[in-house]
Structure 1
Amino acid sequence: MIFGLTFFTKCAQKNIEIEITKISKEIDETSALEIIDGNFLTLNDSGDDPLLYVFDKNGKILSKNLISGAQNRDWESLASDENFIYIGDIGNNKGNRKDLKIYITDLEFNLIDSIDFNYNNQSKFKKKKKNKYNAEALVSFSDSLIIFSKNRKKLTTELYFLPKKPGQYSIKPRDSYNVDALITGGDYNSKLDLIALVGYSYSIKKQFLFVLKNFSNFSNNPSKIKKYDIPITNAQIEAVKIINEKEFWMTSENEGGGYPKLIKVKTK
């Protein structure tokens, strides 16, 4: 496997520049992104062992870390703070899961505990593809975690807040954004007070970056959400990490291009 092959493309119309680097096929289903000690941390979604993968900017895997005591039902996201890593086992494509949770590990990948939750207003658990109880985005925000839903029914994203404390919680949406897309990943940068989300639309076959400034004081005003088309094919972007207000790291699953991708996006 050859790593580090980078492509460059520019789309002036959408004010986006992207660089693409091949990453190892061992993480074909990359669905999350964090930065630990200057390297990237990711995971494969459902079907893989409970592993976290560390890889570098050339796409080479540096280590595989087994989270002993955890199970990968449908891992979809990662978040972190100065003390812990949070693994979102929150994928719920058919809306029928009753074991949703967020694993907590230390920075050496030792399992500490878990945050278990259910959706307060869900009473039926019949399998349904277009449901509002699926999620793939998780961010660390002060002393809370925020889940951004992947609402196939309304193409909105609901915000659910959870404390960073082990326990069992029943959660209600605190806010909802009309993004007209399926949200697959998110990140929050406390120094910039900035939220970045990524998602896609099946109907128009496009993928998007959403940027929300001044998130702490944000109200549900669509004009305050900047939406960018990401000019990329054979990809499904499922994770984002903020570099600064204009630049973002992303990863994409292998969607027909032959390899998963590390993507650097610059907005103008």
Structure 2
Amino acid sequence: MKKIFLIFILNISIISNAQQAEIFKLKKFRVSVLSDSIKETSGLNFFNGKLYTFNDSGNLPELYEIDSNSGRILKVLKTTAENKDWEALANDGENFYIGDFGNNSGTRKDLKIYRIPFQNNVLENDLMKTISFYYPEQNDFAPKNISTDYDLESMIYLNGNIHIFTKEWASKSTTHYILDPENYENQAAQKVESYPTGFVVTDAAYFDKKLYTVGYTKKTEVFLDVFNESEPGIFFREKPRHLYLGSALSVGQIEGIAVDEKGVYISGEKFYSPIKKTKPFFYFIPKEKLKF
């Protein structure tokens, strides 16, 4: 009885908060349950028409090519990069960029992105380079587990730069910084703009002059924001289209998004709570269903 009452109260809270957003039921677009090999999927990225994902901290340093129609693993790509806490994946058409910058406690001083050439479906690990960076605004590195504003899980490559979007637990916002992919010194991330999302951003994708961000709240609300690019590399001057996708209790802990001309692909890792355990799901939303 106590569990049922808790679920009822939680659902009322979620519905109340979600009323401020457009309701869009992600669950209807579920394609499959992901393999146990990628049950901690933490991002998605298209490279030359093929879809890739990976696992976050505590897992093997591998990329996985998956079938965009089913989520089935097609190929495993092994790297020599350390997986301390991989959280994002991007590419420039010649290189993969793997973001090892997960920072839930806000204590890391070794934020990095691995740049690995990818030719003929092979990772050229011997040519890998490391892009190190820091936030000039961060002065406090005391542990603040899921309370820091310097966590990070989102990255895109655009206009010759790496663009990162912070996961701000305290502010419930995201800040957009850019990095120089040719600078292999420890560089200062350049702040561009911020936006009060109301949720923590866990992945981002860029397609056709739009930035897509997904994430969730501590109350398990899952959201998708779609921003228009008002000028090259600028996204936060206009309010986004703000969609409530459901609760993590039913759709999973959403961690990945990728977009192409067909639509939007979303992945979630296993979600554990005292109430329910949710499987790692793969979703596809056809473009026409979003009515862009």
Deviation at 1:215, TM superposition (A): 4.3
The AA in structure 1 aligned to 2:72 is K
* Higher mean C-alpha displacement, 229-238 vs 158-167: 229-238
TM-score with structure 2 setting the length: 0.80
- Whether 1:251 aligns to 2:271 is no
Structure 2 residue aligned with 1:66: 78
- Whether 1:47 aligns to 2:50 is no
Q: Is the 8 A contact 1:40 1:54 kept in 2?
A: yes
**What does the per-residue CA deviation read over 1:143-164, in whole Å, with 9 as the maximum and x for residues that have no partner?**
0011100011100100110012
1:215–1:114 CA distance, 2 compared to 1 (3 A): farther
- Whether 1:241 aligns to 2:258 is yes
Deviation at 1:255, TM superposition (A): 1.6
Of residues 137, 150, 158, the one that matches 1:121 is: 137
Of residues 176, 194, 199, the one that matches 1:159 is: 176
The AA in structure 2 aligned to 1:59 is G
Of residues 175, 185, 189, the one that matches 2:203 is: 185
Alpha carbon RMSD of aligned pairs, Å? Answer: 2.0
- Aligned to 1:93, the other structure's residue is in SS state coil
Distance 1:214 1:175 in 2: 13
Q: Is the 8 A contact 2:201 2:213 kept in 1?
A: yes
Deviation at 1:37, TM superposition (A): 4.8
Task: Quote the sequence identity (%).
Answer: 30
Q: Is the 8 A contact 2:173 2:198 kept in 1?
A: yes
Structure 1 residue aligned with 2:6: none
1:37–1:140 CA distance, 2 compared to 1 (3 A): closer
Distance 1:36 1:177 in 2: 28
- Aligned to 1:26, the other structure's residue is in SS state helix
Structure 2 residue aligned with 1:14: 23
The correspondence of residues 72-91 of structure 1 with structure 2, limited to 5 A, is 72-91=83-102
Structure 2 residue aligned with 1:267: 290
- Aligned to 1:238, the other structure's residue is in SS state strand
Structure 2 residue aligned with 1:8: none
* Higher mean C-alpha displacement, 116-125 vs 42-51: 116-125
Deviation at 1:74, TM superposition (A): 0.5
Distance 1:138 1:147 in 2: 4
Q: Please say which structure displays the higher CA radius of gyration.
A: 2
Distance 2:34 2:259 in 1: 19
The correspondence of residues 180-219 of structure 1 with structure 2, limited to 5 A, is 180-189=198-207, 192-203=208-219, 205-216=220-231, 218=234
TM-score with structure 1 setting the length: 0.86
1:165–1:98 CA distance, 2 compared to 1 (3 A): same
Q: How many residues align structurally? A: 250
Deviation at 1:216, TM superposition (A): 2.6
- Aligned to 2:172, the other structure's residue is in SS state coil
Structure 2 residue aligned with 1:231: 246
Distance 2:236 2:55 in 1: 32
Deviation at 1:100, TM superposition (A): 0.6
Distance 1:173 1:138 in 2: 14
Q: Which residues of structure 1 form unaligned runs of 5+?
A: 1-12
- Whether 1:143 aligns to 2:160 is yes
Q: Which residues of structure 2 form unaligned runs of 5+?
A: 1-21
After the TM superposition, list the runs of 4 or more consecutive aligned residues in structure 1 that deviate by more than 3 angstroms: 15-18, 36-39, 217-221, 256-259
Q: Is the 8 A contact 1:234 1:254 kept in 2?
A: no
**What does the per-residue CA deviation read over 1:126-152, in whole Å, with 9 as the maximum and x for residues that have no partner?**
111211111000011110011100011
The correspondence of residues 96-107 of structure 1 with structure 2, limited to 5 A, is 96-107=107-118
Deviation at 1:234, TM superposition (A): 4.6
Deviation at 1:227, TM superposition (A): 0.6
